[in-house]
Amino acid sequence: MTRLLEPLVVDPRDPLALLPSLEEAIAGQRTLLPVPADDPARAALLQDSQEAGRPIDPSIALVVATSGSTGTPKGAQLTPANLVSSADATHRHLGGAGQWLLAMPAHHIAGLQVLIRSLVAGVDPLALDLSTGFHTPRFARAAAELHATRDRCYTSLTPMQLAKLMDTLQGIEALRLFDAVLVGGAALNPQLARAAADMQITVVTTYGSSETAGGCVYDGRPLPGARVRVEGERIHLGGPMIALGYRNAPGHAAFAEEGWFATTDAGHIADGRLHVTGRLDAVIDSGGLKLHPEVLEQALLGVRGVTGACVVGVPHPRLGQAIVAAYTGTATPGEVIEGLDHLPRWQLPKELRRLEALPLTGPGKVDRRGVEKLF
C-alpha cells in the first residue's frame, strides 16, 4: 500500500492531542508532517515545500522542518529508530526516565521530542497552553504538579524562556523543582548560566537539530550512541538519531556519508567537549578579517545589562562588510562598547542598536535577515 505524507496540525492550546498520532507514527503506521495551527502562512509553506499528500518512504515516521531562516525550509526525514534512540539516549544521560513538561511549540523538534520521550517512558506529559504566549505562573503551576508525583521531572526551554522565568522568584522556585532543564535552540547567555548554577537550577545545554532528531550533544558531550567529529572547522554529527536525508532535497551533500550529518556549524573539540564557534555560512568578512558573529554575540552577552544580541555583516564600500549589532537589555550603547574594551578594535560594531525585542524565526532563534534589514 502506498504511504502518503499526512499534515499533522498542531494546536498550541492542546498539544497533547498529538500523542495518539505520534504513537502511530513511532509504530510505523503513519508518516506525519507537523504544521502550526496558529500560523497559516507557515503551515501552507511547509505543506507545499514538503509535498504533503504525496507518496513517501513508509520507513519515515516524521518529516520535521528546519527553521528556514535562510530560504525554503528543508524537511528532515526521521524514522521511528531515529526518534526512539534519541529519547532513550536522553534518559540514559539524565539518569533515567521521568515526567516531562512541554513548554515549547510541538511542531518543532524540541517540543516533539518532549512528547516522544514521554511516550517511550510510558508517562503522560503535562503541556502548557502557548496560544497566548509563555507565562511564568502557568509554568510554575505545572512544575508543582509534576514535582508532586515524586518522580524525576524534566522540561525543555529556549534561553529566552529560561531568562524570563529567572526574572521572578516564582519562576526560579519552579525551575529548581526539575531534575534537569534542557536549554537549546540558541546560545545560552553566560551570565544567565552562572546565575542558574548559583541558584541551584540544573541547566543542561543541548546541541542538535531536526536532522539529528533533536539535541544529541549535552553540555558539550555526545549522548550515548551519538558521535561527533570536526573536519577543518565543520562539525559532523553521527549515530542512530541521524535523519534519512531531506524530503525536499534528496541527495543533499549534508548526508553524503551514511549515518552522519555535516552541519553548517563551526567548532572544535577540547578536553573531550565540543565547543560550537558559530555558523559557517554566517561568517563576516570585514576588510579581509573574518569573524564568526557568535563570538562577538557571546562577548555582548557577557556585558552587564545585555540580555540578547545579534551580530550581522552589512555591505560596506571599503570593508566589503561592516560589523553591526542589535541587542536587548538595559545597557546603553556606550556601556556596551565599554564592556567590549577587551576585544580587538576591528571586532567592535560599526553601528549598535538597542531593541525592545530581537526578531525571531522560531523558538529562541533570532532572525538574522530581519536584523540585517534594520541596518
326: β partners: 310, 353
User: Do 6 and 52 meet the contact criterion of CB atoms below 8 Å apart?
Assistant: yes
5-275, CATH topology level = Rossmann fold (3.40.50)
Tens digit of pLDDT per residue, the chain (375 long)? 789 999 999 999 999 999 999 999 999 999 999 999 999 999 999 999 999 999 999 999 999 998 755 568 999 999 999 999 999 999 999 999 999 999 999 999 999 999 999 999 999 999 999 999 999 999 999 999 999 999 999 999 999 899 999 999 999 999 999 999 999 988 888 889 999 999 999 999 999 999 999 999 999 999 999 999 999 999 999 999 999 999 999 999 999 999 999 999 999 999 999 999 888 888 899 988 889 899 999 999 999 999 999 999 999 988 899 999 999 999 999 999 999 999 999 999 999 999 999 998 877 788 888 999 999
Which of 144-151's residues contact partners 24+ apart within 8 Å by CB, and which partners?
144/174, 144/177, 146/99, 146/101, 146/177, 146/178, 147/177, 149/99, 151/98, 151/99, 151/123
Q: Please state, as a whole number, how many other Cβ atoms lie within 10 Å of the Cβ of residue 131.
A: 11
Would you give the end-to-end CA distance of the chain in angstroms?
53
Give the residue from 180, 274, 276, 277 showing the smallest Cα distance to 227: 274
The residue behind cell 511516550 is 119
CA distance linking residue 262 with residue 239, whole number of Å: 12
Q: Where in the chain is the domain with CATH 3.40.50.12780?
A: 5-275
Our CA angle for 176, 178, 182, nearest 5°, is 110
Who contacts 339 (Cβ-Cβ below 8 Å, separation ≥6)? 300, 302, 303, 304, 306, 331
Q: What is the pTM of this model?
A: 0.87
Q: Is domain 283-374 given the CATH code 3.65.10.10 in the classification?
A: no
CA distance linking residue 232 with residue 113, whole number of Å: 31
**Alpha carbon separation from 331 to 206, 230, 245 (Å, rounded):** 28, 37, 44
CA distance linking residue 156 with residue 152, whole number of Å: 14
Say what the pLDDT of residue 318 is: 87
Q: Where in the chain is the domain with CATH 3.30.300.30?
A: 283-374
The residue behind cell 570536526 is 230
